Amino acid sequence: RIQGAIFDLDGVLVDTAKYHYLAWKRLAAELGFDFTEKDNEALKGVSRMASLDLLLKAGGLTFCSEKKEELAAKKNAWYVEYLQQITEDEVLDYVTDTLTRLRRLGIGLAIGSASKNTPLILEKTKLAPYFDVIIDGNCTSKAKPDPEVFLLGAKGLGYPGEECMVFEDSEAGILAANAGGMVSIYLGTSSCADADFTISNLSEFWET
């Protein structure tokens, strides 16, 4: 039986995936190439430096690691600038309903995010009080698709991976959930072949 639910942050709880995209697109433009929404799919759930590597590959560019640190910092500064203006309005549909209903059912609730900006996002959106455990890019060393972030979430909740379900909007995150032995639920309009279930939004979760 499922005892715990672990939620990805960007793209699942809050609509911040679009700001990541805007910031990466801005960086690509500055480097002289176009970066499409389709190109951006591969970056979802992926760590900041790994995302930069994918972006540079798409643009056919290579840089030394010092320069890459500089570019990643630049992207992050733009992203953080966008985050300054977000409010509870950025919380996606059915999120607070879902969290409240799961809590009433006795399910433990965790966040499992790759983002180092998780504390800022939670502060702006006032979501932190809903969760028992928060695992983010500041306390993990291995990026999704490694299951580390979700295994730490399950451990924090006190349940084995098999008793947890993971809500994700990225391919890397679904692979991480599968590797952790969890039930993987993909949130998206396209389908994700590796996910145990695919839903287009959280209200659909309650219909099945």
From the list Mg ion, ligand B16, none, partner contacted by residue 43 (C-beta under 5 to 8 A by kind): ligand B16
What residues pair up with 197 in beta bridges, in sequence order? Answer: 185
Query: What contacts 33, CB < 8 A, 6 or more positions away?
Result: 58, 59, 60, 61
Task: Tell whether 46 is in a known binding site.
Answer: yes
Instruction: Tell whether residue 137 is a contact of ligand B16 (CB under 6 A).
Output: yes
Instruction: Tell whether residue 188 is a contact of ligand B16 (CB under 6 A).
Output: no
Pick the binder of ligand B16 from 28, 43, 154, 183 (CB under 6 A). Answer: 43
What residues pair up with 183 in beta bridges, in sequence order? Answer: 165
Known catalytic membership, residue 93: no
Q: Is 27 exposed, middle or buried (0-12, 13-18, 19+ CB in 10 A)?
A: buried
Torsion of CA 139, 145, 148, 153, to 10 degrees: 80
Nearer to ligand B16, 11 or 108 (CB): 11
Instruction: Tell whether residue 20 is a contact of ligand B16 (CB under 6 A).
Output: yes
Known catalytic membership, residue 89: no
Cβ of residue 176: shortest distance to ligand B16, in angstroms? 9
Instruction: Tell whether residue 4 is a contact of ligand B16 (CB under 6 A).
Output: no
CA distance 78 to 15: 16
Q: How many residues are listed for the chain in this entry?
A: 208
Task: Tell whether 115 is in a known binding site.
Answer: yes
Q: Which residue is nearest to ligand B16 (CB)?
A: 113
Applying CB under 5 A, which residues contact Mg ion? 8, 10-11, 45, 169-170
Q: Which residues are catalytic?
A: 8, 10
